Each structure stands twice: as C-alpha cells, then as structure tokens.
Amino acid sequence: MAGLMRREAFDVLEPLRRLMEGDLETTWPRVEEFQDGNTMVIRAELPGIDPDKDVELTVVNDTLHLRATRQERTEHKDKGSYRSEFHYGSFSRSLPLPKGCREEDITAAYTDGVLEVRAPMREPGEQATKKIPVSRRESGSA
C-alpha cells in the first residue's frame, strides 16, 4: 500500500516537475518566422524526430502545412527504482506564406532538432510565368 501511495504522489508531482524544468509537451512545435532578404524563413523546433519518415511538408493555396510525429522513450534508474516513459504524438501547423512565394523553389533542411523551410519570394514587379504546353490533335477528333 505504501508503494501505491508513493506512486500516486509521484503522478501528481510529475507535471509540476516537468513545468519547472521547461519540459512540458505542447501540441504545437515552437515556430519562428522571419524574412531573410527576399526569402521567407520558417524554423520549427522538432527535436527527437527522423525528418525522412516523421515530417510531411505541403503547400496549398499559399499556405505551408507542416505535419510531424514524434516518439520518444526515456528511462530513469535510481538505487532500487526504475521508471520509463513514452512520449508520442503528432502535431501540425498551417503557416501562411506571403503572396508571391515561388513554391517550386521552396527548400527544407533539418539540423540539430530544427527544421528550416526557406520560401523565396518574387522580386517586386516580377510576374509568375508558367508555360502551358499545347498538344496536337488530329483533325476530326474532339
């Protein structure tokens, strides 16, 4: 019974400990946005993920959609006690891109737990030009 009471006390104090240590999980990753010359830069703090399999970036209607999943396991060993925890979940953010971003030139890199997305913007007065191919049909076909 004493072990059960000690465990219940630990369960109550664990969120407080995590808050004091700055380790409280949030549903949204920390994100910063700024402009570097003519490039919109978005950085997201995503520690403990594998960017090859845990991150999905898409652009739809001038909006960058970031989705990521994270799985983390921690173990704590003390004299006579052992505790392990699993932290996992998924999160997403939708971030508006400035009008005129060149979607075809957007790049992303992951370094030391930080995902950096760079979205070049068109120069003032520069127009988006897309060449539309013309297909040839034989006469008489619809």
Query: Where does 25-120 sit in CATH, by number?
Result: 2.60.40.790
What are the two backbone dihedrals, phi and then psi, of residue 16, each rounded to the nearest 5 degrees? -65, -45
* Of 15-19, 71-75, 121-125, the least confident: 15-19
User: Alpha-carbon dihedral of residues 22, 29, 44, 53, nearest 10 degrees?
Assistant: 120
Q: Where are the domains of the chain?
A: 25-120
Q: Which of 121, 45, 36 is nearest to 55 (CA)?
A: 45
Residue 126 tokens read as 């520069």
Tens digits of residue pLDDT in 15-69 = 555 555 555 554 457 889 999 988 999 999 988 788 888 999 999 888 899 988 8
pTM confidence score: 0.61
Average pLDDT, the chain: 77
Alpha helices (H) along 33-128: 51-54
Q: What is the pLDDT of residue 5?
A: 42
Q: What is the pLDDT of residue 116?
A: 94
pLDDT tops 50 at residue 70: yes
Q: How far is CA 59 from the centre of its chain?
A: 13
Please give the Cα distance from 93 to 66 (Å, whole number). 5
- 123 pLDDT tier (thresholds 50, 70, 90): confident
- Number of other CB atoms surrounding residue 66 within 10 Å: 22
> Quick check: 44 and 29 in contact, CB under 8 A?
yes
